[in-house]
Structure 1
Amino acid sequence: MIQDQRGFTPEGNWYKGNIHSHTTNSDGRLAPAEAGRLFKENGYNFLCFSEHDLYTDYRKEFDCEDFIILPGLEASAILCGEDGPHKCLKVHHIHGILGTRAMQEEAGQNVFREREAIRPSVSYGTWDGAGEAGRLCNYLKSRGCITVYNHPAWSRVAHEEFVHTDHLWAVEIFNYGTVNESGTGYDTAGWDRMLRDGKKVFAVAADDNHNGGEFDDACGGYIMVRAGKLTHEDILQNMIAGNFYSSAGPEIYNWEIRDGRACIRAQVSDRYGRTAWTNVLF
């Protein structure tokens, strides 16, 4: 029988964040200040600008009592057709978020510098997909980051090309932007495979917002972190420890394993805005 356990720490506050977003520093429409204001006005407490292959750090500009920035980037490895780079067949997008103080100290001089760009790995015709994912993830870890494998369904990768990757902190199983763009933003099968293989890897929801206006891609997927304070260190420590949940609406207040059964305490809203408490047993 599974050992009894409580899901979240009893102490702390809940902090809401989007860890996957883009601005005019890569292919987004909003400037960083506009994007930060959008999420802050919608009740978010932290935000990561994950520009494509470009590390940014806006903590000095935007951090305040009730809102902080998590520095990071979205790194790429790309498989193109044999006839050139204009035809992208598959892509690994692995998110690097600046880690804890201990992780930064371990990386030393390798910690990313503000506005440091990295060169994507590009293959033509064929590639070692699993090897490319592993190398990219190890590289981001060596630079002091925790890592997330982003939108595997949208990336058109086979499970074997990412499920064996070591040092992943999480897999993005809900991507609000690509759900609305192409119906390719929801994918739990790869994550389930990793868990069944014994990998301890978490699941996250995010927006991947570019704010282009063709479809809604902001404030739809997020994580809620239980932490004592709204600081980079507290948020990252509790993310790494799994003291958080992912959502696109429902609020989860507790989960636990009791007498071999899982119990979730949550609050959900219906289409008319009415809310109700629910206890779900598995």
Structure 2
Amino acid sequence: MRLPKLELGFFGDMPGRKFGILFVVFAMLLSGLTEPRCVAQISSDQTRTGLANREARWWKGNLHTHSLWSDGDDFPDMIASWYAERDYNFLALSDHNILSRGVRWMKLADIKERAEPDVLEKYIDKFGEDWVEVRGDSEATREVRLKPLDEFAPLLEKAGKFILIPGEEISDRAAGKPVHMNATNVAELIDPVGGSTVREAMQNNLRLVLEQEKRLGRQILPHLNHPNFGYAVTAEDLASVVQERFFEVYNGHPSVGHLGNDKNISIERMWDVANAIRMAQLGAAPLYGVATDDSHEYHGRPGSRPGRGWVMVRSKFLSPDHLIMAMKRGDFYASSGVVLNDVQFDKATQTLSLQVEDDSDAEFKIDFVATLKPSKDGELPPNESIGKIVSSVEGKVASYKFTGNELYVRAVVTSSLPADDPSFKNQMQQAWTQPVVAVDKAATDSNN
């Protein structure tokens, strides 16, 4: 056992100096073998017990965000600050085909043209002149340095409160159509590789994400973005790329065709059709739906503004890996304004239940949406059995017991309140839970 260095000068002029030194050493040894170790052990046990007994809770976050690093109109640290100050717990910055790393300068004139004349003054007011880096003597030559994520993250992150996650929007084209996919918690830049068809481009880019995840031993969440943007991705495309488990059921950009049109189905209808094909014909797991901002405009201009769509993830820990693992389990819901207190599926009773968290005068309608099993294996259910409302409840608490005839059930909660900043006409605040698949009761009983 290594002893700490002792300062024993005060014994120098005293009789029995050697005895005094031995006494002190003996006392310290005795103390080190008993009391301090005991205290440390108690402290360690308390810490370990506290973490082990931590309750899972809901964490709010946005997974689709753009800054001046690509086509957004504000500095990334300004954007991250906006979310942190509005009780978000996590934010993924996902610029197009770039990671916010390294040294990059941008002409102030270009920034002002994209944003507004006083964008630099706002930046300095927020972070101060010591933080903001400007170079150049004239208006024509002045440039502002765009901060990389690893530089401003320590300034804004707070343990157990708010974290920043690296992301990328892998922006590709195939057959003349946009094919965009986000990779959340990506470690290395992924260049889009294209494909001869939309489906092939989806598969090729997804493969690169999954390969990076496996190679680095790092949780990465890929999700397909705004399928109705340019009406590029069909329900059949979403269904066929079975390795893709996530897509945007709501994207806050006003130009992504959320409601569809005369020739194209809505995003929510697409969700049900894709899952019907996956489960009835392909034997694949259902798609989960996320809600995002896809924010670009941060100065009040019309367009894709922040704060419109988010996910609520249930996890014990606020870390990228734990959040993504929870989402892969389906332990999250998407929202454009409605907050849920709880969502549970009771395997024993085959019951999906939820409770809205709200103390306002708003009224809520809870729809349980199911796709029913086809009459024959391998067939697609008839159109009227896909995305069918099997139960509707007015109120804040509702449950649905499986009958055994469902491929899956999900819930949609709609508030009587309009969206705070609507992205389409007559938009109301909503929340979407993930599709739940009935559990074989015989198999469940045998495992108990």
TM-score exceeds 0.5: yes
- Confirm or deny that 1:184 pairs with 2:258: yes
8 Å CA contact 1:148–1:168 kept in 2: the answer is yes
TM-score of the two chains, using structure 2 as the length reference: 0.50
Cα drift, residue 281 of structure 1: 3.2
- Quick check: 231-240 or 54-63, which moved more? 54-63
- Quote the Cα distance in structure 2 between the aligned partners of 1:153 and 1:39: 26
* Alignment partners' CA distance in 2, 1:120 and 1:54: 14
**1:188 alignment partner, SS class:** helix
Alignment of 1:158-237 (within 5 A): 158-177=234-253, 180-181=254-255, 183-184=257-258, 187-196=267-276, 197-198=278-279, 199-211=285-297, 213-215=301-303, 217-237=305-325
Unaligned 5+ residue runs, structure 1? Answer: 1-9, 81-88, 100-110
Contact 2:226-2:256 at 8 Å conserved across structures: no
CA 1:45–1:51: 2 relative to 1, 3 Å: same
Amino acid across the alignment from 1:146: L
Q: 1:195 deviation in Å?
A: 2.4
Mapped contact 2:193–2:201 kept (Cα < 8 A): no
Aligned length: 242
Shift of 1:182: 5.7
Match in the other structure for 1:152: 227
Shift of 1:95: 0.8
Alignment identity in percent? 21
One of 24, 34, 49 as aligned partner of 2:93: 49
Tell me, yes or no, if the aligned pair for 1:163 and 1:191 is still in contact at 8 Å. Answer: no
Matched, 1:280 2:388: no
* TM-score, structure 1 normalization: 0.76
AA at the equivalent of 2:152:
E
Residues of 1 paired with 2:231 and 2:172: CA distance? 13
CA separation in 1, counterparts of 2:202 and 2:236?
A: 10
**Matched residue, 2:137:** none
Sort the Cα spacing of 1:174 and 1:130 in 2 relative to 1 into closer, same or farther, 3 A. same
Residue-by-residue CA offset, 1:44-90 (whole Å, 9 max, x unaligned): 1110111111134625531322211111101122136xxxxxxxx41
1:61 aligns with 2:147: no
Q: Which has the higher contact order (CA 8 A, sep 6+)?
A: 1
Whole-Å separation in 2 of the counterparts to 1:220 and 1:188:
17
1:31 aligns with 2:88: no
In 2, the alpha carbon distance for the partners of 1:200 and 1:184 equals: 20
**Any conservation in 1 of the 2:65–2:295 contact (CA below 8 Å)?**
yes
Answer 1 or 2: which has greater strand percent: 1
1:176–1:221: 8 Å Cα contact kept in structure 2? yes
Match of residue 136 from structure 1: 205
Instruction: Choose between structure 1 and 2: higher helix proportion.
Output: 2
Q: Deviations over 1:174-198 (max 9, x none)?
A: 0012xx3464376123322332222
> Bigger shift: 54-63 or 19-28?
54-63
1:242 CA drift (Å): 1.8
Report the aligned-residue RMSD: 2.5
Kindly indicate whether the alpha-carbon contact (under 8 Å) linking 2:190 and 2:208 is maintained by their aligned counterparts in 1: no
